[in-house]
Every structure is written in C-alpha cells, then in structure tokens.
Amino acid sequence: MKKFIKILSMVFALIMLAATAVSAAPYQTYTYSIDGFALYSPDAYVPEMNIDSNYMGLESPLQKPTDMVTDKAGNVYIIDSARAELIVLDRYYKFKFSIKNFVNDQGVPDEFTNPQGVFVSRDRIFVCDTDASRIVTFDLDGDFDSIIPQPESNLFTESAAYKPIALAVDQYDRLYVVSSTTYQGIIVMTDEGQFTSFIGAQKVVANMWQILWRSFQTEEQRRRSEAFISTEFNNITITDDGFIYVTTQSIDEAKQQAAIRGKDISGDYAPVKMLNASGVEIMRRNGFYPPSGEVDISQLSTDVIKGPSVIIDVAVGPEKTWSIVDQKRSKIFTYDFDGNLLFAFGDTGTMLGNISIIQAICYQGNTMMILDALNNSITTYKRTEYADALIQALAYQNNQKYDQAIDSWVEILKRNSNFDTAYIGIGQSLFRQGKYAEAIEYYKSAYDTVNYSNAYKELRKEWISKYLFILIAAIVVVIVLWSKFMGYAKKVNYKTSISVGKRTYKQELLYAFHLIFHPFDGFWDLKHEKRGSVRAGATIIGITIIAFYYQAIGQGYIMNPKGQYSSIFMQFAAVLVPFFLFAIANWCLTTLFDGEGSFKDIFIALSYSLAPLPAMVIISTILSNVVTSSELTIVNLLITVGYLWVGLLVFFGMMVTHDYSMSKNVLTTLGTIVGMAFIMFIAILFTTLLGKVVSFVTNIIDELSYRM
C-alpha cells in the first residue's frame, strides 16, 4: 500500500511539473535587468486561436506561406509561394478571394512565378512576383491593375539580378523594394517603376589583413578577388509617418554579438534599422541593450540555442511600438519608439501558441498574428490587461497627457516592479512637467543615465541661477587659497635648498610640489640632497590610498549608476601591490645592470612620483557629482592626465635615480614590466602549490582521525 501511494505521489508530482511547464513557459514575457538577467513579468499576449486551412475555408491546404499582412479594415493577405497564389481572408479569417491567374495589361492570361511578398496600401495590393522579376498590383477587390517591371538605372551592375521579395509603399505611393540579390540597399522607385535611388546600404568594413593583402595585389587580382559588398536586407515595413523598418540576417554573428554586448547605438551591425525617406538611420536605441532580439549571455543562459537572433520580419504595432521575429528561437520581441524592450515571448512546440517556424508577423488592431511556415497556419494572440495598461501608458505619453501616463505606469509597476521602462516613463512625464528632482529619482531606479543627465542639467541650471554669486565667490576663494599655498610651498622649498642640516617632515612633504613640476633636478636633489624620506613617501602613498577610497565611495551617479564601491582594504591592495611589484622588479633588474639606486631610493622616488595622482582623483571625483553624461570626457581627461603624469615621473625618476641614459632606461622599464609579470606568475604558482600542500596535509589529518 505504501509503495502504491509513493508511486501515485510521484506520478502526481510529474503531472503537476509538466502542467506548470506547459502553462508558464511558452508565453511568459520578460525584460532584462541592469545586469542582463531575465526578469519574468506578467503575460503581455496570450494565444487566442489557431487558424488552419479548414478554418479559413480553403479548398486545399496552404503549402508554403511566405508573407502575411493586414489592411485597415482587418482583411488578411497571405502569399503562398508553392501555390503561386495570393489568398485574402476577411477580418474573421474566412476565405474572401484569391488571386492566382489574371489577365495582364497586354490582354494575355498571366500568373505568378514564386511570389514572396505582399503589401497593401490605401487602395492597392502589391505582390512581389519574385522569379518573374516584377511587382504586380491589384485593386482591393482583386482586379488586375498594373505590372511594375524591373527598374532601369546605370547604378545597377551588369550582373545584378532583380528579385523582389518584400516591399513597402508610403503615403506618396513611393515604393521601397527589397531585392534578395541587390546589395546596394533598398530600391526606391515610383509606382510606375521609375528608379529613384538606393537607400540604407549596410556598412562594410574590411579588416587589416584584407587591406594589407589587397595592397600587394595586381589590378587583375583585385578584380578577381572577392568584392567588399554590403549585406542585403530580407524584409521591410513602413509606418503611417513614412518611417521605414528594415531587417537583415546576413550580418556577421561575431560583429552583431559584439555590437549587442558593447551596447552599440550606431546601428552599423544591427539586424533591424529604422530609416527616414532619405535612407538615414534614425532608430533610437535607448534601452539597456540595442534592439536586436535575444541577448546571448553565455555564462548565465541555460538556453541551448546560442548566438544572436535571426531576424526575418518586423511589424509596426500600436502607439509607435514595433515587433521583430527571431526565427532561430521562434520568439517575438516588442520595443517602444525609444528602443526599450517592452516584452518578449514565444517558443517552439506543438501546443497552442507555440510556433514551429515563424515566417511573418503582423498586427490586426489589438491582435497579433503569427504565420507558421511549418504547420501552414496562423496563430492569433490577444493582449492581456497588462499589455493594455502598457499601451495605454504609451498613448497618454505620446499625446502629452502626462498625469494620466503616470497613473498608468504606476499600475504597470504594481504588476511588474522590475520594469525599467515604467520608471523611465514616469520620469519622462515628470520631466515634461518641470519636476526635475522627482524625475531624477525615477531615472535612477531604471539606471537611465541619459535621461538622468537631461533632468540633472535642468536642475543644475536652476541651482546655478539661484547661487551664481556664491558659486563664483567660492571658485575665486579656492583659486586664491591654492595660489597662496603653492607660493608658500615654493618659499619653503627655496629656503630648504639653501639650508643645511636635517630636513623636517613638513619640508620633506612640501618638496613633492617642487618635484612634480621639475622632475630632473627634483629627483636629483631627492636622492643626493636627501630632500625626501621614507616617512614622507609613505604619507604620499597613504594619501593616494585615501583618494582612491574616496573615489570608490564618492563618485557621482553618472559614473557609478549601480552604486558599487570597494572597501579600504581593496584600495590598499590596488595601490600597494603594483607599487611594490614595480619597486622589487626594478631593484632586481637594475642591480644586475649597474643601477646606482638602492631599494630605499627606488621606494622614495616611486612614492614621490604618485604625488599628482591624489589631486587628480579627488578633483575628478568631485566633478563627477556635478557633470552630465555628455561632460564625462572632462572627468576622464583629468584621470588620464593624472596617470600620464605619474607615468612620466616614474620614468624620469628611475632614470635619474639609477643614472641611466634614455635608451637604457627604456629597456630597463620594459624589463621591469616583464619582471612584474614574472613575479606575479611565481606568486600565483607558489600560492597554488601551498594550497595543495595544505589540502594534502588536511586530508591526511582527517583520514587519521577517522581511522583512530
């Protein structure tokens, strides 16, 4: 009986586990946190129904559907390339009519030849008759209208083939055609077939080896070698405002992945782009990652499918949202106009809502439609309350109803507190109302440094206008005090240089202000005139450690949005480890190569070389609290100058300390760096060996204790 109950319990547990996986996995949406982890959020779209050939009322099933669009009335247009037919359904997905044979403008019976794409304008249907190298148009009732032939232009190469696979038509009846064999970009033509231009050609970059190799080739070899051509597009759609979304799957995976991981906003290697009518890339990529589909994080992801997404279609949704299809994972990603990921869902499988091979996506009002090329069917998805609230928030924001937008974003946060776009949306609404301080807090919650900077800039303007005279007075006081201090240090150093006897601690410390501006005579006097000491050098090292600790805990939000900091012990290690590595390696090497400096001399020279670094670190840390993201170059410049200054002081300090020539000092400096690496290798090796010895002894003691 107990055995039976145990087996029954296991079966019940397996059933519950399977039910949980089936119900949650396929449609669960997610966004990305600041660290790239997938954060699950409420469902945005759920499957509503599956529409097969029988439901459509077709006499024979679909064979190879390749494209699908809808019109303003909700009618659905499907291209079946295997049947060479355009199938039109009404808004309820029932068969309306089809176009397979037609009488062309010459009065001759005609038919499609492997059609691939379809687009519906306000009054016409455009079909890409791919293998016939033409576009055929019909009116909305399915009656033949015209044939748009292959455009003619000198810009087409002699070997170029015209294979239209997708197109879009703007409000001025301009055609934007994607040809599968055309690499110059999107073909722009009139509705009569007159060629206008190419737009949006992909960026091509040759690597250094290719450039070098081509420089040695003859003209004939260059002509025969592989040409550097841009990648072609594979799909296109257009907004009511005339903005064009285009997709491609021909980008090198390594470059595409590097662009995603590097958060590249240029769009050079993006699988989806947004172009204006002139072909200029204008997509906003303000999200945590640029819109590219899946973000492949190998060390965190358990997904067996690796690498960038394969984007094969794009559709424009309500309130300037847009969705792309990742055919590799059968997943749909939806973004807002600013490039923020709103939600993503989808998976392969046989249950309702899972798509085996996504071929196309389109919107029918609030309904999302997915064309399944393997099952030859359409799956419709309806919006959930969560997605309705999200679209409503975007609508309020787009219509400048900021108070209502805030209420909608708050409702969304009640369902998904990890949704960064909601925090950004509230921040933008508050920003447009002039509530900059409140907006900043919401931007900080989403780690949005760009919008934070915009709000902080306005807040800073108010603060400066209010305290302008106090600020000017403070700057003048600081400059005067600094000038007085430098004059005092100069006076003390001069008196010390003409005096004899033991130097005081104050004189040894103030000498650093002479040395950093006069390195050659400064290091000479430091060694031969005993102007410095170990105690003063240790003090400078301590000040440097404190300066870096202040940087760790005092950086502004722009430079440290996550609020991370390291302890004082980490700063000790960060300063002392490289310091003593260099000192030991340099002393060992210069002892063998007639260096005149002792280890004490090297220690003092190195410590005094650090003198300008604390000032640069402290000033840059203070400035990081008052600059915007566009002004960070000032902060980074100060830090860079500080490190370069220290590097030059160390170089000349070692040259003077050891009495080396310039060339010999260069060699010993390079040798010192190699020596540092060697010492680190020995230290790591010794530490590893010591750990193994300790582990071995511990195991022996444990074994003896068990046996005794």
| Chain mean pLDDT for the chain | 85
pLDDT at 95 over 50: yes
CATH 2.120.10.30 maps onto the chain at 38-383
Q: Tell me how far apart the alpha carbons of residues 162 and 189 are, in angstroms, rounded to a whole number.
A: 13
pLDDT in tens, 419-454: 888 999 999 899 988 899 999 999 998 888 888 999
Pick from 364, 416, 370: which is nearest to 393 by CA?
A: 416
Q: Tell me how far apart the alpha carbons of residues 393 and 402 are, in angstroms, rounded to a whole number.
A: 9
Which CATH number is correct for 38-383, 2.60.40.2470, 2.60.40.1120, 2.120.10.30, 3.40.50.11540?
2.120.10.30
Residue 681 has what pLDDT? 92
At residue 239 the predicted structure's pLDDT band, cuts being 50, 70 and 90, is very high
Unique residue bearing structure tokens 């009335």: 73
Pick from 688, 680, 650, 645: which is nearest to 668 by CA?
A: 650
Least confident among 158-167, 250-259, 431-440: 250-259
pLDDT at 641 over 90: yes
Pick from 313, 316, 343, 340: which is nearest to 328 by CA?
A: 313
pTM > 0.85: yes or no: no
**Beta strands in 100-184, from DSSP E residues, in sequence order:** 101-103, 109-111, 117-120, 124-129, 134-139, 144-148, 164-169, 175-179
Q: Report the sign of the C-alpha dihedral through residues 57, 59, 62, 65, in that order.
A: negative
The encoded tokens of residue 591 equal 């002892």
Least confident among 145-154, 155-164, 464-473, 595-604: 155-164
Pick from 383, 422, 420: which is nearest to 406 by CA?
A: 422
Q: Above pLDDT 70, what percent of the chain?
A: 88
At residue 31 the predicted structure's pLDDT band, cuts being 50, 70 and 90, is low
Q: Report the sign of the C-alpha dihedral through residues 481, 484, 488, 493, in that order.
A: positive
Pick from 427, 323, 342, 338: which is nearest to 384 by CA?
A: 342
Report the first-to-last Cα separation within the chain, whole angstroms. 45
Residue 17 has what pLDDT? 33
pLDDT in tens, 475-529: 999 999 999 999 999 999 988 888 888 889 999 999 999 999 999 999 999 988 8
At residue 201 the predicted structure's pLDDT band, cuts being 50, 70 and 90, is confident
pLDDT in tens, 55-70: 999 888 999 999 999 9
Residue 180 has what pLDDT? 83
The encoded tokens of residue 482 equal 């600094």
Q: Above pLDDT 90, what percent of the chain?
A: 54
pLDDT at 315 over 60: yes
Residue 30 has what pLDDT? 55
Residue 228 has what pLDDT? 41
Q: Tell me how far apart the alpha carbons of residues 206 and 472 are, in angstroms, rounded to a whole number.
A: 52
Residue 497 pairs in a beta bridge with none
Q: Tell me how far apart the alpha carbons of residues 488 and 514 are, in angstroms, rounded to a whole number.
A: 11
The CB density around residue 17, as the number of other CB atoms within 10 Å, is 10
SS3 530: coil
The encoded tokens of residue 547 equal 């300066």
Sheet holding 341-345, edge to edge: 311-316, 322-326, 331-335, 341-345
pLDDT in tens, 318-367: 999 999 999 888 889 999 998 888 988 887 766 666 777 889 999 999 99
pLDDT at 19 over 60: no
Q: DSSP for 642-695?
A: HHHHHHHHHHHHHHHHHT--HHHHHHHHHHHHHHHHHHHHHHHHHHHHHHHHHH
At residue 705 the predicted structure's pLDDT band, cuts being 50, 70 and 90, is confident
Could you tell me if 450 and 286 are in contact, meaning their C-beta atoms sit under 8 angstroms apart?
yes
* Residue 635 one-letter amino acid: V
pLDDT at 219 over 60: no
pLDDT at 158 over 80: no
Residue 679 pairs in a beta bridge with none
